[in-house]
Every structure is written in C-alpha cells, then in structure tokens.
Amino acid sequence: MNRLKFIKHSSILSIGGILIPSAILSACRKEDLFNNSNFKGKVIIIGAGAAGIYAGYILKSKGIDFQILEASDTYGGRLGKIDGFADFPLDSGAQWLHGQNNIIGDLIHQTNTKITLDDSDEIFWFNNQLVNSLPKDINALFTREDNLPDVSFKDFAIQEGFGTEYANIVENIAGDSGAAASHISAYWKITEEENWISGDEDFKFEETYFDFFDKHIAATISDKISLNTIVSSIDYSQDMISIKDNNNNTYQADKVIISVPITILKSSDITFTPALPTSKTAAFSKIGMDAGMKVFLKFSTNFYDENIIGGSICAAYADEKIGKTGNSNVLLAFIMGDQAAYLTSLGSDTAITNALLEELDAMYDGEATATFISSYVQNWTTKPFIRGAYSFSTVGMGDARKIAAESIDKKIYFAGEAMNINGHHQTVFGAAETGYREVINILNDQK
Amino acid sequence: MKNIVSILILFFCITKIDAQEFKADISYQYMYAKQWDKAIQTYNFSRPTISNKQPLFMHGANVSLSYIFKSPKHFKHGINLSYTNFTSLASNLNSTNLLLLHFIRLGYMMHYENIEKMKGLYIEAIIAANSSALYRNVNQAAFIYDDTHSKAFNIGAEASLKIGYYLKIKNNFYLSPFVSIAYAPYIYAPNTEAVINQTKSLSNKNWTSISNAQIGIAFHLKK
C-alpha cells in the first residue's frame, strides 16, 4: 500500500469507524431521561406538601395527566407563611435552606432569589446562667463518624460523661433533627446522613421559604390541587386504582404517589386494599416523627441574643429578624420532641406563651414579660394532617426508610421527606427529590 | 499544575536522549459513560425550568505524550501520558451551568511496527491508570458551597488500542494519523452525581464504565 492509498483508506476508516458511529451515537444519546414517555395514564398524588407538589410539577412538564388530593384547606404541607404578625413575613414551617448544593439552591440561582447566610452567634443557658461557650464541646460528640452506638442521643451523652447539666443542650441538638434526645439514634442519624451533600451552611429567604416554593413551583400546578379532600381508602387490587375520600367521592388512577407525612401512614388513617405488606407497616413504625412547634414572640425591644440554646422549656430560641428586612423584634421559640409534647399538653396558646416568657424572664431578668407584645403559636403536632415536625432516625431503625420508600405492585409509590433515602430527609429539597424520583420510577416501570 | 507540566517536559527532554521514539498526539475523543449520562439526564429531567438542557459529556479534546524505549525488535514498549478535557455548558436565564471534566492517564504502552510486513502501519496497546476531576461553575464562577468548589475526583483503569500510519516528513520526523478505542471497565466516581445532580445514590451508582474512541494525529521524533 502506498502512502496516498493509505491516507485514502485511513480517511475512510476514520470517517467510517469513528466519526459516523460517534455522530449516530450522539444522536441516540438524549439529554433527558424520557424524551418520549409512552405513559398515557393518570397519576393521583395524595398530599400537597413539597414532595407531592414537586411530583406534580414534574408530571406537568412531561405532559402527564395528574391530580393532587390534599386533606387540609391549604397546600404546602409543612411549608407555610404568617403575614401581619411582624413587619416581615414569617415562616410557619420550614424556614432554613440547609446548604446550597441541592435542587432548591439551583432554582434560587436561576431565579435570582435573595437568600442570606445565617451565621448568627449562639449563647447557652447552662447551669442557670447565660454563657458564651460550654465547658465541654458536646457538638463534636454527635458529628463524629466512628464508634457511634445505636443508642439515643440522651443515653450516648451520658455514656460519654456529659451530665444532666447538658441535658437541654442535647435536646437542642436532637431538636435540630425534629426529635427528642431520648428518641433519636446516635448511630442511625450519622449513618442516614452519610449521603448528605447539600452543604453545612444555613440560609434564610428574604421573603419566606413558602413564598419561594409557591411562586416558582406550586403556583404552576395549583389548579391541579383539590383541597379539603381527605383520602380514606385506596384499593389497588384492580388494574385501575380506586381512591375514596371522606365524602365518598371516588377517583380512578393508573398510579398513585402517596406523599403524606409518616405520622399519617403510621396511624392507618388510609386503608389499603389489599393491605400493605407487614414489612412496609413495620418500616413505617420505625421511622420517627416527634412533636414540633414554632412560637413567635414579639417584643417592644430586642433584649435577647441571636440564638439562645439550652432552655428547659425551649432548647432553641432564634432572633427571627436575621436575614429579614423589617424592624419588628420577633424571637422564635423552635420547640421539638419532649419539650413540644409538654407545651402541647398545657392545652392553650396562652399557657404555652406564658411558659416561654417565664423561661426568658429567668434568662433576661424579667425583660421578656416587661416588653412582651404578642405571640403566635404554630403547633404542627395538633395539625390533623401533619401531627409532628419531621422524620428522624430512631434507635434500631435499620433500613426502614428504604423499605418504606419501595413502591408496591408498580402502582403505589411513596414520596415525602421521610421517604428520602439519600441523606436529605427532613428537608424541603429532600422532599422534592423524592417527588421527581417517584415520577422517574413510574416512567421506568412503564417501560 | 504548572509544576507537574514543567516536570513532565523536563522528564521527556531528558529521556528523549535515549529514546527510540518520542511522540505527541492531538485528537478528538468521543466518550460514553453510562452513569454520568444518567446523572445529567436526571438533572435535566428534574429541573423543568431549564430550557436549554445540560449536554452530555460526549466530545472532548485530547493531547498525549509518549516515550518509546529503544529496542532492536519490532515490539517495543514505552510510557504514555495523556490529558483529555470535556465540557458541558448550558446557558439559561440567570444561570450558566458549566461542568468541566479533566482526565489524566498514565500508562504502559506496547508498540508494534514492522516495516517489512506492515509498511508504515503501527499498533499500540496501552494499559493506563485513569484519574479525573469534575468541577462545576455557575455564572462564570466556581460554584462554591461551604467555602469549597463543587468538585469530584474519580479513579480507575483503562485499556486502549491504537492504529496509526507513519508518514515521513523529514529524516527523523514523522506524522501519523491514527484511530483508537478505549474501555475503562470501572471508574470509581463516588461524588460525580453530587456535583452534577446534587444528590448521592439517587440516580447513579458510585462507579461507571467508560468507552471512548479517538481520531487524531501524532507527531513522532524517531532516532
């Protein structure tokens, strides 16, 4: 073969062997998961929280018929907003964006939404006095990644030599996960968060988390949400799934995404035909969700510190004005677990407020009562379709979350923050992830 | 990076003295990495507001340097160092998302040429350690969270086969057009999904296989 022939042949070989196949392969490789979904059925989503709304948002973008059935008279789930209490809007539910490396962080970039890093200082109520630091670093105890036992935070702290004087500090750490210190597992919390990749910084929205989610996601599908529709039963024994509500209305669907809080699944408010597998119900029961409430206290002066940690009535107070544009002096009492259960047991908003003021008076020499204007109690525990804060990792949890999130018979799918098995449970973006994950699962099952 | 390049240039300059052949390649590279496709596809699927979708990693540019040891036989061996760059850029309202993927391979090369039988044709097989780094930039700046650039490092091994043809230009200087195919059966890539789709283990395994094909031209300096 002479040189010219070789060049000719190798050119043909190159074009034929590399460029043409790569052009064909490039054309075959699509940028989206399902460019031409052949799913023509109807999807019903039960629950209009972040997961359900996000699932609907994705279904709409793919041109798939869907309807969202929401039991309460509003959508958003544990996202909510309080107007008029202060001269800036308040988040009645989810408030902080935990890290920026997540799907909500992406949307924030795309929409030029203003968020502010919350790097406010902490002060501790320790041995009945306010101190800037603790004698021993207890936070490190619960963030270390080795040799964590499957015992509660409370027991683990005691095992590691942190006495009762640290009890309310431990309640605050557990409260970050929406749990009582006696319920959350040191081992499973770290294990379940192994895949957490969102980042460690906390951000606040200038408006509210609800406003952001509503404006950019929920509003696009709000016409598909049926409010005040309390689902009582789901029959998936036939090809078409039959859903009944409390008013005996029946809805038919090919697929159902259930995105109600784990408390609702645990309580068996919705009956299934056939009954859910026992492995499933056992998994539900292992996922924790404790009481939770937020109380906003408005004062005439700002006498308090940015974050007060370690109260026995409320383990975490936070200056609500941080990251907001406004002048109202609002202190948030962020109350979880046993403390929320106790305050709920007091029976009235006034009693709850008085208990908190009494604690703040002890911390700040009576300034709380002296400057108190009004309060707003948002008790998520008594919300009939929520009944708590958010899911957490219990002692002996194992792979309960994974089992709970598995679909049934390619008909019933589970979404919601409690069903996030990728380390982002307890978060709005974690809920959103499960929303699109279940749409992917539906479309994959259709292949 | 500058230091590494300087050391490599120095290394090749020194070792060239005893080299049978010193070679530099430039090529176009087509890549298929199933798991990384899946991460980008999931990203596009889950973000309906993005009108211009994030492209898959497909088309890259490669440069490579090889040093072939002296040998009286037709079969020679040497070392090869190569660098490939892939980009995936999507520009949308208020947001430009750029994924930068850099590969560096260092490999052992088997080179076969037989002037009598194969004329100017040569064949090379390379087994290489393959490492790569993926970075994310948003709006022409590093995407930073928790004070660090969003990035993922990956490592694995790759085997490739190359066929080229020598074209003599001057006494010791040759050009050769070549084609090459390569396969990396296992690239450990635990954080790639975290950079692309901002999740972990939702859409991807923590490893991927990679297939690629190259077409390019090599510059040879022979003794």
Encoded amino acid at A88, one letter: F
Distance from CA of A285 to the nearest CA of B (A): 24
3-state secondary structure of A303: coil
Counting beta carbons within 10 angstroms of the beta carbon of residue B131, is it exposed (0 to 12), middle (13 to 18) or buried (19 or more)?
middle
Quick check: B58 and A433 CB within 8 A?
no
Beta-ladder partners of A316: A309
Encoded amino acid at A382, one letter: T
Q: Is the pLDDT confidence value at A359 over 70?
A: yes
Among A332, A331, A333, A343, which Cα is nearest to A291's?
A343
A157, A114 in Cβ contact below 8 A? no
Distance from CA of B5 to the nearest CA of A (A): 30
Quick check: A18 and B213 CB within 8 A?
yes
Q: Is the pLDDT confidence value at A21 over 90?
A: no
Low-confidence ranges of chain B (pLDDT < 50): none
- What does the pLDDT read at residue A145? 73
Encoded amino acid at A293, one letter: M
B141-142/B121-138 β-pairing = antiparallel
Q: How far apart are CA A280 and CA A302, in angstroms?
A: 49
**Cβ within 8 Å of A, B 74-93:** 92-93
pLDDT 10s digits, A34-74: 877 789 999 999 999 999 999 999 999 999 999 999 999 99
Of B59, B167, B199, nearest to A422 by CB-CB distance is B199
- What does the pLDDT read at residue B222? 85
- State the average pLDDT over residues A74-78: 98
A311, A125 in Cβ contact below 8 A? yes
pLDDT 10s digits, A286-301: 999 999 999 999 999 9
- State the average pLDDT over residues A17-30: 73
3-state secondary structure of B34: helix
Q: Is the dihedral of CA B181, B183, B189, B194 positive or negative?
A: positive
3-state secondary structure of A119: coil
- What does the pLDDT read at residue B114? 87
- What does the pLDDT read at residue B9? 62
pLDDT 10s digits, A409-431: 999 999 999 999 999 999 999 99
Residue A17: pLDDT band (50, 70, 90) is low
- State the average pLDDT over residues A149-165: 96
Q: How far apart are CA A374 and CA A368, in angstroms?
A: 11
Among B3, B9, B60, which Cα is nearest to B212's?
B60
> DSSP H helical segments within A34-185, as ranges?
50-61, 103-111, 139-143, 153-159, 167-176
Lowest mean pLDDT among A141-150, A188-197, A274-283: A141-150
B63, B83 in Cβ contact below 8 A? yes
- What does the pLDDT read at residue B80? 97
Task: Report chain A residues whose CB lies below 8 A from the CB of B37.
Answer: 29
Distance from CA of A99 to the nearest CA of B (A): 7
A178, A426 in Cβ contact below 8 A? yes
The structure's pTM equals 0.93
Q: How far apart are CA B101 and CA B56, in angstroms?
A: 11
Task: Report chain B residues whose CB lies below 8 A from the CB of A198.
Answer: 145, 198
- State the average pLDDT over residues A74-89: 97
Other Cβ atoms less than 10 A from the Cβ of B119: the count is 15
How does the average pLDDT of chain A come out, rounded? Answer: 94
> DSSP H helical segments within B17-141, as ranges?
34-46, 115-118
- What does the pLDDT read at residue B93? 87
pLDDT 10s digits, A175-185: 999 999 999 99
- What does the pLDDT read at residue A365? 97
Other Cβ atoms less than 10 A from the Cβ of B147: the count is 8
Of A29, A110, A195, nearest to B58 by CB-CB distance is A29
The answer to whether B32 contacts chain A (CB < 8 Å) is yes
Quick check: A216 and B120 CB within 8 A?
no
Task: Report chain A residues whose CB lies below 8 A from the CB of B40.
Answer: 31
Order of strands, edge to edge, in the sheet holding A65-69? A225-226, A65-69, A42-46, A255-258, A412-414
The answer for A222, left when phi > 0, alpha when psi is -120 to 50, beta otherwise, is alpha
Quick check: A422 and B191 CB within 8 A?
no
pLDDT 10s digits, B57-77: 999 999 999 999 988 888 999
3-state secondary structure of A5: helix
Q: Is the pLDDT confidence value at A212 over 70?
A: yes
B127 Cβ partners below 8 Å, 6+ apart? Answer: B107, B108, B157, B158, B159
Extended beta strands in A13-106, E state: 42-46, 65-69, 81-82, 90-91, 96-98
